[in-house]
Amino acid sequence: EVLDAAKEKVKGFEAKEATVEAEGDGKEYEIKGTANGKTVEVEVEVDKAGKVTKVVVEEKKEEKKEEKK
């Protein structure tokens, strides 16, 4: 259900890694992956009954390091 919520919010989302933390009475899942060639992090909050209560999407910007010559 958590992964489905992430995929519903971000079209083309492919999970690469996930962590879970206790958050109040429920849990917060942090799922990192990719969508359409971009790095995406999705946070899904679940209440004690297992119902998804919040989904937050954060696109990570790739940092490019330029070398000075």
Token couple for 51 = 């119902």
**Cα separation of the two ends of the chain:** 51
Q: What is the pLDDT of residue 20?
A: 96
Burial of 30 (0-12, 13-18, 19+ CB in 10 A): middle
Token couple for 17 = 């890694």
Q: Measure the CA–CA gap between 41 and 57, rounded to whole angstroms.
A: 6
Q: What rounded mean pLDDT belongs to the chain? A: 89
Asked if residue 62 lies in contact with residue 40, where contact means CB atoms within 8 angstroms, the answer is no
* Confidence band of 55 (pLDDT split at 50, 70, 90): very high
